[in-house]
């Protein structure tokens, strides 16, 4: 009977389980999230470190495949494992082995059908701008330095036009062809911190390629007076990438976090 308990215990422990990681990183050193033939990526480092730690071949699936230079406070990745390490302890063991610019914030077991990109989610991104005459060295990696004065009120007014369900074709990189370019932005706010830091915070249920960086670039064009706030609906209507502003540089962007429907499943 003692044996029986141990056996069934082992069987339970050996079962495949799906684990969700919340991953923070400084993107500076990486060629983005997604595996690349040339160049180190966040995904590659996680796969390798998890495989070494757990003694299995691990392949993570990420929620937001951030570009080179983009940072994260709360990107999400899942993987399947047979490990006996309790899921919520994996993050501590993993952080011991990860480089200092990738830190897993939490780990937990999720339902087997949980998929970080296919399940309903609300993603939040922040684009940070240092708006002053001269750069600040300690902010150079995660804040875009822009020296022409930006008008906050105009940016806020323009941002409000983006909220809701729209065809965001004008805000999608032409390098990627997507059939359905309709997306929903739940909120798009512009705030000022510490006198000269302007943040653009966008929450939505889905984003097109480069969408947040094109929104940031367009709001910057509004801030310097090159585009009128009232022109935002026209840009949306045109469904033409050329109608929006430039794509703001990657290093100003941070993936803040992802909320999944049904809570932390």
Binding site for its own copies (CB under 8 A): 24-26, 71, 73, 91, 95, 100-106, 134-138, 140-142, 254
Q: Using CA atoms, how far apart are residues 118 and 125, in angstroms rounded to an integer?
A: 18
If the CB atoms of residues 19 and 119 are measured against its own copies, the closer one turns out to be 19
Question: Up-side HSE of residue 87: CA atoms within 13 Å toward CB?
Answer: 19
> Quick check: is 67 catalytic?
yes
For the chain, give the number of residues.
265
Widest CA span in the chain: 78
Shortest approach of its own copies to residue 203 CB, angstroms? Answer: 17
If the CB atoms of residues 137 and 263 are measured against its own copies, the closer one turns out to be 137
Shortest approach of its own copies to residue 57 CB, angstroms? Answer: 26
If the CB atoms of residues 91 and 162 are measured against its own copies, the closer one turns out to be 91
Shortest approach of its own copies to residue 72 CB, angstroms? Answer: 9
Catalytic residue selected from 67, 112, 113, 167: 67
Dihedral of alpha carbons 208, 248, 43, 74, sign: negative
Shortest approach of its own copies to residue 195 CB, angstroms? Answer: 12
For residue 246, what is the DSSP state? P
If the CB atoms of residues 25 and 127 are measured against its own copies, the closer one turns out to be 25
Q: Using CA atoms, how far apart are residues 241 and 168, in angstroms rounded to an integer?
A: 9
Q: Using CA atoms, how far apart are residues 26 and 253, in angstroms rounded to an integer?
A: 11
Q: Using CA atoms, how far apart are residues 260 and 256, in angstroms rounded to an integer?
A: 14
Q: Using CA atoms, how far apart are residues 41 and 70, in angstroms rounded to an integer?
A: 11
Shortest approach of its own copies to residue 102 CB, angstroms? Answer: 6
If the CB atoms of residues 66 and 221 are measured against its own copies, the closer one turns out to be 66
User: Do 130 and 136 touch, CB atoms closer than 8 A?
Assistant: yes
SS (H, E, C) 120-143: CEEEEEEEEEECCCCCCHHHCCCC
Q: Looking at the annotation, which residues are catalytic?
A: 67
């Amino acid at each position: 009977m003692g044996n029986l308990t141990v056996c069934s215990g082992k069987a339970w422990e050996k079962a495949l389980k799906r684990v969700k990681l919340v991953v923070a990183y400084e993107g500076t050193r990486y060629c983005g999230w997604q595996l690349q033939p040339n160049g180190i990526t966040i995904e590659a480092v996680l796969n390798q470190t998890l495989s070494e730690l757990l003694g299995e071949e691990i392949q993570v699936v990420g929620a937001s495949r951030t570009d080179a230079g983009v940072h994260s406070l709360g990107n999400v990745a899942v993987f399947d494992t047979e490990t006996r390490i309790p899921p919520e302890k994996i993050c501590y063991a993993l952080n011991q082995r990860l480089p200092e610019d990738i830190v897993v914030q939490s780990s937990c077991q999720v339902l087997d059908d949980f998929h970080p990109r296919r399940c309903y989610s609300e993603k939040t991104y922040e684009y940070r701008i240092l708006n002053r005459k001269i750069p600040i060295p300690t902010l150079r990696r995660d804040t875009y330095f822009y020296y022409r004065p930006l008008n906050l009120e105009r940016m806020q007014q323009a941002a409000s036009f983006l909220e809701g369900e729209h065809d965001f074709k004008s805000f999608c990189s032409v390098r990627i062809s997507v059939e359905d370019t309709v997306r929903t932005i739940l909120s798009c706010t512009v705030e000022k911190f510490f006198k000269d830091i302007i943040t653009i915070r966008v929450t939505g249920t889905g984003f097109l390629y480069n969408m947040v960086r094109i929104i940031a670039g367009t709001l910057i064009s509004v801030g310097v007076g090159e585009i009128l706030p009232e022109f935002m609906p026209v840009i949306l209507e045109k469904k033409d990438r050329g109608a929006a502003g430039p794509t703001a540089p990657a290093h100003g962007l941070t993936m803040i976090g992802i909320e999944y429907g049904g809570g932390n499943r």
